[in-house]
Structure 1
């Protein structure tokens, strides 16, 4: 009889443990919705601060550069939401009071359980990298695009919601030089970056841990940098300036995105025919948006002209990394 009692007790205990485990197991649908809520929470009106500080010199003789701090006002809008795909467009609102004007800023695209992800491969070139089923399971890809909708970088990671904090942290991935350095220095070639997005009670924060890479015959890290981009909810600025710009130009930019997406979909690595962040590419595309906004050019004509500009400054003949990387400023705009 005691043996039967012990067996019955064991079975009962196993049942309780099983029910507890089931209760504690995450609900995939609920987690997916939590992820979506976190991504969509980044849309809004914000006062923004961009704070970058070099912290650890890792090459002999290197001297840390001065911190770079800037900020302003920015709107972030959901421009597409397909459930498992969300696109957020950033638009800065700058200028003196009463004379504010919009500047199209970066874009972030989020894809649930992606089959591939945009990857920077150095020297203004990118490829679509396959994502394994294991890495894609429950994960989101974030792909980031520049002011002209040209590619910048991508990564795959999980959103977590532990301790009432929603955050997304991917593994380190290569990124092109940021504009704050690309226009002022030529001593490194790429950034190995971890980008963490965290939702806060007042908005959200984009934290970065960056290693600045020199890509020569013996690649090395020049220096480590910490970046904190803070988005605080604030509508005490003319939000309508940014919204009016997007209302007038969104169809044009949708056409521009299609041209860049065609390069990604083709499957081959592709790049820009100039090093750096060439004004010859982004200035005409932004100018065409201005003509559409002013009514000086139709959306259809502007998209056609933009396609010609993109075709002129892109290539699938990217060569080797050594051929692509050119850190000297006098050769920054040299074609491959």
Structure 2
């Protein structure tokens, strides 16, 4: 009798510790629910297009080495026009155009970063360190319902890529990337710091005023004294970056649109040129330059400026631009 009671109590305890069978595996979403989520994702991405007052707020918060002193906070801003370059359903390309004062009261347009979004991607172009980017496979079981975001520099050479899912928690809709390696931004690169890359998570959220891009960056680099085969990559400091895009109806975006109208065919050829190299080689190697981002930037950006100034034809600029890519692009 005693053993029977003990068995009953043991079975009851085990049953209480196990999840109820009624909960079971989560059912796959219906086709209608998946289509609805897909359209909601697209709306969030496309909502980033528009004219904005931008605030860039960069703060080193926690040093991860006793011998590292965080640099002062840096806050800057400007105006950006964000335009849809391509929308083919499962692929969306957004181009950022920064408009600043040239110092004499006249607007100057700087082709800024570009973001490409791809639905359920098979691969993502990721930073592999020291001027190298490679196509990494996305695990097959993690593709469903997810989007990759690949960011490109001013000359359309690559910068970083990651993948993640649009979700909504606490009433806030957001996309959160996988952990993503990134080369140094110009603000850091020109200082030639001890660290030489970031390990980051990126989040994008629509807001009532526009949208925000939050970067959670671990600034990393070789441990002092290590090199070659013995090189050890270690964390130096944590950085939080909050880029806030607020819609600005008073912002005159005409100069940005004029620049893009004049140069968009040229930049389409340059995008295709980089893409051809990346697909052919499974990635690309491009020398990083602190002041300009890449070894191609100064010349490729200069050709676009010459097109706008009518110093060179679009056809000639395409040929010369593709020749620059062929010169600087290597295998990863």
TM-score normalised by structure 2 residue count: 0.85
Structure 1: 5+ residue runs without aligned partners? 1-16, 319-336
CA distance in 1, matches of 2:28, 2:142: 24
- 1:90 maps to which residue? 96
Correspondence list, 1:8-47, <5 A: 27-47=33-53
- 2:18 maps to which residue? none
Q: Answer yes or no: is the 8 Å Cα contact 2:98–2:112 preserved in 1.
A: yes
- 1:329 maps to which residue? none
Structure 2: 5+ residue runs without aligned partners? 1-22
Shift of the alpha carbon at 1:165? 2.3
Alignment equivalent of 2:85, drawn from 79, 94, 111: 79
CA distance in 2, matches of 1:280, 1:224: 28
- 1:193 maps to which residue? 200
More moved, 98-107 vs 247-256: 98-107
Alignment equivalent of 1:295, drawn from 304, 307, 310: 310
CA distance in 2, matches of 1:303, 1:214: 37
More moved, 108-117 vs 260-269: 260-269
Shift of the alpha carbon at 1:231? 0.2
Q: Answer yes or no: is the 8 Å Cα contact 1:124–1:275 preserved in 2.
A: no
- 1:159 maps to which residue? 166
Correspondence list, 1:1-336, <5 A: 27-95=33-101, 99-215=106-222, 216=226, 217-273=231-287, 276=290, 277=292, 280-316=295-331, 318=332
CA distance in 2, matches of 1:56, 1:278: 26
Distance 1:263 1:23, change over 3 A: closer
Shift of the alpha carbon at 1:98? 5.0
- Match of 1:315, SS state, is coil
- Match of 2:204, SS state, is strand
Shift of the alpha carbon at 1:114? 0.3
Shift of the alpha carbon at 1:26? 7.7
Distance 1:259 1:24, change over 3 A: closer
CA distance in 1, matches of 2:117, 2:287: 27
More moved, 297-306 vs 30-39: 297-306
CA distance in 2, matches of 1:269, 1:31: 31
- Match of 1:42, SS state, is coil
Q: Deviations over 1:11-62 (max 9, x none)?
A: xxxxxx9xxx899998000000000000000000000000110010001211
- Match of 1:134, SS state, is helix
Taking only aligned residues, the RMSD between alpha carbons, in angstroms, comes to: 2.2
- 1:334 maps to which residue? none
CA distance in 2, matches of 1:22, 1:78: 32
Q: Answer yes or no: is the 8 Å Cα contact 2:286–2:295 preserved in 1.
A: no
